[in-house]
């Protein structure tokens, strides 16, 4: 499980997070939604340790995260726009990450490479990969160490229908294995398909946090997109 408590972060006059508290349970997919500049990225980077909040605390899998670099090993992360060294081959990128982690989960890597259709790209330099293929490589890197927490930021951006379908199957399988999964996407139908819970941010504050069914009851809307729009209209 991941828990954040009273997170506050300012960038000059901009208050990106305003006392954000939320829980992200194990065995569930939580969708973090909100308009641009709502604080989604700052929240996720605070959990990852890439942003240090001015106030507040973060717990990951029962451990205090801030000032505890070891917690990062418990998180698999897919950024929205993954970047890799352009002249390094795909297979070498995977080996590099294995070396940094001090683990070599070869069976998991082989399974994921096959699942996401990366086999034909292993000897290609990362710099020549399409956006969708970079995203497939990012998926392999996020899942291959079997972390208890997954943070997925616009993970299907650029994926073709087959890769997207396989990715969603993997997410649901990891959820069913008890993983904590935190996900953002601008495609509301995708979140509706995968999410068990919703955290809605607006101007750096939590406006709603609860199950998808609770959101439907609170707004009177069946579709996630319309439910979120109703929350925005009522502010």
**Mean pLDDT in residue range 165-176:** 96
The predicted pLDDT at position 180 comes to: 98
Give, in degrees to the nearest 5, the angle at Cα 18 between 201 and 185. Answer: 25
Count of structural domains within the chain = 1
The predicted pLDDT at position 125 comes to: 96
Tell me, yes or no, whether 184 lies in a domain: yes
Q: What is the pLDDT of residues 120-161, one digit of tens each?
A: 999 999 999 999 999 999 999 999 999 999 999 999 988 899
Tell me, yes or no, whether 217 lies in a domain: yes
Tell me, yes or no, whether 40 lies in a domain: yes
Tell me, yes or no, whether 106 lies in a domain: no
Q: What is the pLDDT of residues 36-89, one digit of tens each?
A: 889 999 999 999 999 999 999 999 988 999 888 888 889 999 998 899 999 999
pTM over 0.85: yes
Q: Which residues of 42-60 are buried (b: 16+ CB within 10 A; e: fewer)?
A: bbbbbbbbebebeebebbb
Tokens 């199950």, residue located: 211
Closest among 175, 178, 135 to 157, alpha carbons compared: 135
In this predicted structure, the answer to whether residue 235 has a pLDDT above a threshold of 80 is no
Q: In which band, very low, low, confident or very high, does the pLDDT at 219 lie, cut at 50, 70 and 90? A: very high
Tell me, yes or no, whether 8 lies in a domain: yes
Tell me, yes or no, whether 105 lies in a domain: no
Non-local CB neighbours of 187 within 8 Å, separated by 6+ positions: 156
- Host domain of residue 165: 2-80+150-233
Tell me, yes or no, whether 126 lies in a domain: no
In this predicted structure, the answer to whether residue 106 has a pLDDT above a threshold of 90 is no
Tell me, yes or no, whether 142 lies in a domain: no
**Mean pLDDT in residue range 224-230:** 91
Q: What is the CATH number of the domain that holds 173?
A: 3.40.50.300
The predicted pLDDT at position 157 comes to: 86
């Amino acid at each position: 499980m991941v828990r954040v408590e009273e997170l506050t972060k300012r960038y000059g006059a901009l208050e990106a997070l305003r006392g954000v508290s939320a829980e992200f349970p194990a065995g569930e997919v939580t969708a973090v939604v909100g308009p641009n500049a709502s604080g989604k990225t700052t929240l996720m980077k605070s959990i990852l340790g890439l942003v240090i909040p001015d106030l507040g605390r973060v717990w990951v899998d029962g451990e205090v995260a801030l000032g505890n670099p070891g917690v990062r090993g418990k998180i698999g992360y897919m950024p929205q726009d993954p970047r890799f060294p352009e002249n390094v081959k795909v297979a070498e990128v995977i080996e590099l990450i294995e070396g940094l982690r001090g683990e070599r989960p070869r069976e998991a890597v082989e399974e994921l490479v096959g699942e996401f259709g990366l086999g034909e790209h292993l000897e290609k330099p990362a710099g020549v990969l399409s956006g969708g293929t970079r995203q497939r490589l990012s998926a392999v890197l996020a899942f291959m160490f079997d972390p208890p927490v997954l943070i997925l930021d616009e993970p299907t951006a650029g994926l073709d229908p087959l890769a997207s379908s396989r990715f969603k199957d993997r997410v649901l399988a990891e959820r069913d294995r008890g993983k904590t999964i935190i996900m953002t996407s601008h495609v509301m139908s995708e979140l509706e398909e995968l999410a068990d819970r919703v955290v809605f941010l607006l101007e750096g504050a939590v406006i709603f946090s609860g199950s998808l069914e609770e959101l439907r009851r609170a707004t009177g809307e069946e579709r996630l997109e319309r439910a979120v729009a109703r929350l925005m209209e009522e502010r």
